[in-house]
């Protein structure tokens, strides 16, 4: 993507496009689940501090993270396999600045019903479900923060969650909108902006947000 932007050459080979799609879907799905895992970690630390080190032990955390990564790999494998089964005729134009699932489906000349169904299932599992889990965790966290009498104590507890909730808002809202847009190919400018926020701005801001 960076090479295309710097050189001005917008062409990409089919296999490179598929490779780009695989890694984008893999890391995107893994991050979605990891953000939910981080929300659960903050919930345990703030709402159940006395049981935190017992439940969130090293083995549990390792299994948690490994499970998120494996699910991301499986999701990317399924989507890539379904995309490889599609038929494309000659040179085709993708209305996007990187190879993503929806633009590839639009460019296909074969039946995309199975791929669309897989995308809907993945959106629920990797998008809506983790987002609801995060929101549920933060409802309990906020309730606990409100019960803290000391203003300094409330600020200290909230500061541990502020970076995470900022990333969550940017990542999930843009991601869910991007994959549930009214136009499945992103011909509207607002969908392209959403794709930019989801695919570029969120990863770019992550180091800054977490460091602050």
Q: CATH number of the domain that 120 lies in? A: 1.20.1070.10
Q: Is the pTM of this model over 0.95?
A: no
Residue 189 is predicted with a pLDDT of: 67
Q: Which domain holds residue 77?
A: 2-150
The reported pLDDT for the residue numbered 190 is 66
* 164, part of any domain: no
Q: How far apart are CA 169 and CA 34, in angstroms?
A: 14
Which pLDDT does position 184 carry in this prediction?
45
What's the domain count of the chain?
A: 1
26 falls within a domain: yes
pLDDT along the chain (212 residues), means of 10: 79 88 92 90 88 89 93 94 84 76 83 87 87 90 83 77 81 75 52 74 77 68
Domain assignment present for residue 169? The answer is: no
pLDDT score, position 55: 87
């Amino acid at each position: 993507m960076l090479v295309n932007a710097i050189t001005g050459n917008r062409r990409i080979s089919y296999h490179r496009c598929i490779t780009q799609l695989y890694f984008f879907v893999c890391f995107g799905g893994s991050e979605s689940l990891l953000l939910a895992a981080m929300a659960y970690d903050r919930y345990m630390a703030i709402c159940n501090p006395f049981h935190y080190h017992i439940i969130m032990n090293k083995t549990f955390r390792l299994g948690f993270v490994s499970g998120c990564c494996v699910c991301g790999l499986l999701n990317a494998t399924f989507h890539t396999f379904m995309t490889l089964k599609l038929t494309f005729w000659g040179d085709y134009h993708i209305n996007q600045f990187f190879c993503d699932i929806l633009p590839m489906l639009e460019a296909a000349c074969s039946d995309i019903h199975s791929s669309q169904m897989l995308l809907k299932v993945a959106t629920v599992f990797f998008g809506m479900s983790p987002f609801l889990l995060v929101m549920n965790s933060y409802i309990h966290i906020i309730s606990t923060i409100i019960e803290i009498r000391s203003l300094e104590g409330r600020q200290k507890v909230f500061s541990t969650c502020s970076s995470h909730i900022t990333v969550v808002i940017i990542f999930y809202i843009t991601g869910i909108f991007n994959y549930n847009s009214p136009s499945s190919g992103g011909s509207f400018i607002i969908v392209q902006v959403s794709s930019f926020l989801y695919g570029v701005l969120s990863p770019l801001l992550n180091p800054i947000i977490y460091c602050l």
